[in-house]
Amino acid sequence: MADKKTKGSDEIKVIEEIVEGYWICPNCNAKNRGAEQQCDACGAIRGEDVQFHCDGDAPVITDEAELAKAKAGPDWICQFCGNTSPAASEKCTGCGSARGSGKQRAVKEIPPGGAQPQSGPAKTNVPPQPMPAAFKIGCGVIALLFFVLMFLSSRETPEKIEIIDNQWTRIIERQEYKTVEEKAWENEVPQAAVKLSSSREIRDYKKIPDGFEEVEETYTEKVKIGEDKVEDGKIDLGNGRFQVKYKMVPKYKEEQRTRMVRREKFRKEPIYAEKVTYNIDRWIDIAPVELKGTQDEPKWPDSGAEKNTPPKVGDVSEKARKETYLVKVRRLSDGKEYEVKEMRNKELTFEQFMKLRKGTQWEAIFSGLGDLREIKLDPAAK
């Protein structure tokens, strides 16, 4: 049986095991069982500088005689030949000298997650694989296109243009003072309303206790399904073996279950109130009026506004005025046409529109991508 010690609560148990370590021959890099005094491959003596290692899958020692050797204490180093001998040996297993003042190997405690030495010859760092040439070229092309677009977008050049058409639109949004029919609860009727009728209607419900009943309830319960064996530190016993401590951490899953429970039940009882139908005078949105044009001077449509104080039914008022202007231009260098509604992200104004008349020529600013950004409002030379 393995040497195990168990302690702790029902939730998290702690167990300890004695396991076999190993060492790497410094002469030939062969891996040897921890207790071996000489290298199985080349016969080299396990010297004082050789370190013991322990992997996560190290074999557990179950033989009673081997357990006794593991617990006997750390090996000792011969002061004459440097050979390592077991704690129980009174003479050096290498040269036969008496133990005398031979030095013991250190017993070392290794915390959880401590670095684990490698199990073979020293490994050199492998350089990362280079990126494929096609990938590098693709990235370079994308980066180049990005910078070209940025350059063209920021680059501005002047060009002469001619105005070939003008369009404008003006809209007035309107409201009319009307008598409208509405409904509301009695306590919410506006003061100026003229009541037409009322009816008693259900406004809400209240819950009234109505005894108890047995109902099925679904609930979630944590169920233990096993344990995870988690290393919690180890001790290098100095003789090729290790004492390893583990936490046995419970694993759970959630399960949906049902049960019958007794609950209070309720009935819904309606709450009645008066719902009133009434007339009231309000400003109501009506159809806007619109006017469009081209070469003529923009003007506002007739809104038919008539507003009394206080307002009377049938009165019309203006809610908002909106205007949009557009000019069509032709670039003289190549004949390409553009529609201009804004310059430098600002909509054309009435004053700008009135200057940009059909047949006039101007100097305009274009981006490297061909976008018209601005028209200089100083006439270009004919």
| pLDDT tops 60 at residue 271 | yes
pLDDT of residue 286: 96
> End-to-end distance of the chain based on CA atoms, in angstroms?
108
The encoded tokens of residue 164 equal 């070939």
| pLDDT tops 50 at residue 279 | yes
The boundaries of the domain holding residue 114 are 1-121
Q: State the Cα–Cα distance between residues 152 and 367, nearest whole angstrom.
A: 7
Does any domain span residue 134? Answer: no
Q: If pLDDT is split at 50, 70 and 90, which confidence band does 150 have?
A: low
Do 23 and 89 lie in a common domain? yes
| pLDDT tops 90 at residue 116 | no
Do 110 and 167 lie in a common domain? no
| pLDDT tops 60 at residue 152 | no
Q: Do residues 176 and 316 make contact, with C-beta atoms less than 8 angstroms apart?
A: yes
Q: Looking at residues 254-271, what average pLDDT do you find? A: 95
Q: What is the pTM of this model?
A: 0.51
Q: Looking at residues 225-241, what average pLDDT do you find? A: 90
Do 93 and 169 lie in a common domain? no
Q: What is the dihedral of CA 227, 229, 230, 233, to 10 degrees?
A: 140
Beta bridge partners of 327: 166, 340
Q: State the Cα–Cα distance between residues 45 and 173, nearest whole angstrom.
A: 102
Helix (H, G, I), strand (E, B) or coil at 255: strand
Does any domain span residue 316? Answer: yes
pLDDT of residue 121: 40
| pLDDT tops 50 at residue 1 | no
The encoded tokens of residue 64 equal 């009673």
pLDDT of residue 268: 95
pLDDT of residue 179: 97
Least confident segment among 61-75, 106-120, 250-264, 312-326: 106-120
Higher pLDDT: 267 or 112? It is 267
Does any domain span residue 356? Answer: yes
Q: Looking at residues 131-155, what average pLDDT do you find? A: 69
Do 44 and 109 lie in a common domain? yes
Do 34 and 170 lie in a common domain? no
Number of H helices, E strands in the chain: 3, 18
Do 92 and 165 lie in a common domain? no
pLDDT of residue 363: 95
Q: State the Cα–Cα distance between residues 97 and 30, nearest whole angstrom.
A: 28
Q: If pLDDT is split at 50, 70 and 90, which confidence band does 108 have?
A: confident
Amino acid at 311: P
The encoded tokens of residue 322 equal 């909106």
Do 38 and 98 lie in a common domain? yes
| pLDDT tops 50 at residue 124 | no
pLDDT of residue 118: 41
In the chain, what percentage of residues exceed pLDDT 70? 88
Q: If pLDDT is split at 50, 70 and 90, which confidence band does 95 have?
A: confident
pLDDT tens digits, 314-373: 999 999 999 999 999 999 999 999 999 999 999 999 999 999 999 999 999 998 888 999
Does any domain span residue 253? Answer: no
How many CA atoms lie less than 13 Å away from 137 in the CB half-sphere? 3
DSSP 107-133: PEEE-TTPPPPPSSSPPPPPPPPPPPH
**Which residue's structure tokens are 């092309």?**
141
Highest mean pLDDT among 84-88, 100-104, 126-130, 206-210: 206-210
pLDDT tens digits, 161-198: 999 999 999 999 999 999 999 999 999 999 999 999 99
Does any domain span residue 214? Answer: no
Beta bridge partners of 132: none
Does any domain span residue 210? Answer: no
Do 16 and 164 lie in a common domain? no
Comparing C-alpha atoms, which of 52, 54, 49 is closest to residue 77? 49
Do 102 and 167 lie in a common domain? no
Comparing C-alpha atoms, which of 308, 305, 327 is closest to residue 318? 305
Do 83 and 8 lie in a common domain? yes
Residue-wise burial string across 262-295, b where 16 or more C-beta atoms lie within 10 A, e elsewhere = eeeeeeeeeeeeebbebebbeeeeeebbeeeeee
Q: Max alpha carbon distance in the chain (Å)?
A: 126
In the chain, what percentage of residues exceed pLDDT 90? 56
Does any domain span residue 245? Answer: no
Higher pLDDT: 131 or 346? It is 346
Least confident segment among 90-104, 207-221, 322-336, 348-362: 90-104
Q: How far is CA 98 from the centre of its chain?
A: 68
Do 300 and 372 lie in a common domain? yes
pLDDT tens digits, 4-54: 444 444 578 888 999 999 999 999 999 999 988 889 999 888 888 889 998
Do 292 and 169 lie in a common domain? yes
Domain tally for the chain?
2
- Average pLDDT over the chain, rounded to an integer: 86
Helix (H, G, I), strand (E, B) or coil at 316: strand
C-alpha distances (whole Å) from 268 to each of 206, 207, 208, 216, 349 are 6, 5, 6, 21, 64
Does any domain span residue 324? Answer: yes
